[in-house]
């Protein structure tokens, strides 16, 4: 029997989060279409122009990079729209998505910093600095790979299509054109996002993701070279969440049981191990709405794999320099 308590739980944990996600997706898509309708792509691409020109990436990729500092959903919507209209290739779509590592990292930087700093104090500066450095290295490396894979003519401006003369304000025309395309795209986005989000909610309620995180947390024997204290932080970070790992690290730092260098290293390792499951759980539903489900899965695999490798490189370098 469905009680009022069940209905409240469904609304708080499924109804409202799904509605909020769809609202964010709708706003992101509308912004992306509005920018494209106004032909602001090349203006926004100015910020990343040195890197995009070096990497043979189109102005659309540069515009997406700039927008990503403010909204990852809007940036991905721009890429999806460009890909669906064949303005960029599948290869460039993947590279442009990876290229946005740096601005997407900055989106979550304030929240992460202001949570970590009071708990682990000075170690927060080093940990966050290393994750930002990893994101910067990813973006630079993607630009280099793109230069090797994409044609040099990719950076040339697309031929301007003649527009019919009109006395109507450009903003009004852009808004009307954007809304027309928005109505068509938002239906597809909702059709993919809502069922996948509900499925992932059901898996969460069934304990699937919690069990997966606990399983990984219990099978850390290959990290036996870490101290028991470090393994306890990893277990909290994997089995609960990032904040739980931070609290455990802060307590061990305060008691003198662990050095700051050890805490930074174990947090980097925890970042590598815990991020993929959380990315699938939280990012895939809206990725599958913006892109197609198979393409969304491929983009997540590429981005998470690339991210894990870059942070692992930072962890190895930090280990040999500071430990």
Question: Residue 137 has what pLDDT?
Answer: 94
With H, G, I as helix, E, B as strand and everything else as coil, classify residue 130.
Answer: helix
State how far the Cα of 61 lies from the Cα of 42, in Å rounded to an integer: 10
- pLDDT tens per residue across all 323 residues of the chain: 678 788 888 888 888 888 888 888 888 778 877 777 776 666 776 778 889 999 999 988 998 998 888 888 889 999 998 998 899 999 999 999 999 988 888 877 877 888 888 888 888 999 999 999 999 999 999 999 999 999 886 665 444 444 444 555 566 776 777 777 788 778 878 888 888 888 878 887 887 767 766 666 666 655 655 667 777 777 777 665 677 778 778 887 877 778 898 889 989 988 888 888 778 887 888 898 889 889 999 999 999 999 999 999 999 999 888 87
Q: Provide the 3-class DSSP secondary structure of residue 58.
A: coil
How much is the pLDDT for 230?
Answer: 75
The neighbour count for residue 218, using CB atoms within 10 Å, is 11
Q: What is the pLDDT of residue 251?
A: 81
What pLDDT digit, counting tens, does each position of 67-101 carry? 888 888 889 999 998 998 899 999 999 999 999 98
Nearest CA among 132, 67, 237, 133 for reference residue 59: 67
How much is the pLDDT for 146? 94
- Say if CB 258 and CB 249 are below 8 A apart: yes
Question: Rounded CA gap, 262 and 146, in Å?
Answer: 36
Q: Residue 21, Cβ neighbours under 10 Å: how many? A: 18
Among 119, 67, 55, 139, CA closest to 92 = 55
pLDDT at residue 162 in the model: 46
**Quick one: tokens of 45?**
């691409």
| Two structure tokens written together for 308 | 């894990």
Using CA atoms, how far residue 150 sits from 4, 144, 236, 241, 284, in Å, is: 57, 10, 43, 39, 27
Question: Global pTM?
Answer: 0.79
Measuring CA to CA, which residue among 64, 55, 80 is closest to residue 144? Answer: 55
Q: Report CA 77 to chain centroid distance, whole Å.
A: 13
């Amino acid at each position: 029997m469905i009680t009022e308590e069940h209905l409240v739980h469904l609304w708080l944990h499924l109804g409202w989060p799904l509605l909020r996600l769809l609202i964010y997706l709708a706003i992101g898509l509308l912004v992306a279409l509005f920018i494209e309708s106004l032909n602001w792509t090349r203006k926004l691409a100015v910020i990343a122009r040195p890197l995009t020109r070096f990497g043979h990436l189109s102005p659309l990729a540069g515009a997406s990079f700039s927008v990503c500092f403010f909204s990852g959903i809007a940036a991905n919507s721009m890429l999806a729209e460009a890909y669906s209209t064949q303005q960029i290739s599948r290869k460039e779509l993947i590279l442009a998505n990876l290229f946005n590592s740096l601005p997407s990292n900055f989106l979550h930087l304030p929240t992460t910093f202001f949570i970590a700093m009071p708990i682990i104090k000075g170690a927060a500066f080093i940990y966050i600095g290393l994750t930002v450095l990893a994101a910067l290295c990813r973006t630079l490396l993607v630009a280099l790979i793109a230069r090797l894979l994409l044609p040099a003519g990719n950076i040339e401006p697309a031929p301007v299509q003649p527009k019919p003369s009109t006395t109507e304000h450009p903003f009004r025309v852009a808004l009307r054109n954007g809304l027309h395309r928005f109505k068509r795209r938002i239906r597809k986005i909702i059709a993919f996002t809502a069922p996948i989000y509900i499925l992932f909610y059901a898996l969460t309620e069934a304990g699937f993701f919690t069990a997966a995180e606990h399983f990984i947390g219990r099978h850390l024997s290959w990290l036996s070279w870490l101290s028991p204290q470090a393994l306890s932080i990893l277990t909290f970070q994997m089995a609960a969440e990032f904040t739980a790992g931070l609290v455990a690290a802060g307590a061990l730092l305060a008691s003198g049981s662990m050095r700051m260098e050890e805490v930074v290293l174990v947090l980097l390792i925890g970042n590598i191990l815990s991020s993929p499951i959380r990315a699938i759980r939280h990012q895939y539903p809206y990725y599958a709405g913006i892109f197609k489900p198979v393409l969304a899965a491929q983009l997540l695999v590429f981005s998470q794999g690339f991210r894990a490798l870059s942070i692992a490189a930072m962890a190895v370098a930090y280990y040999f320099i500071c430990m």
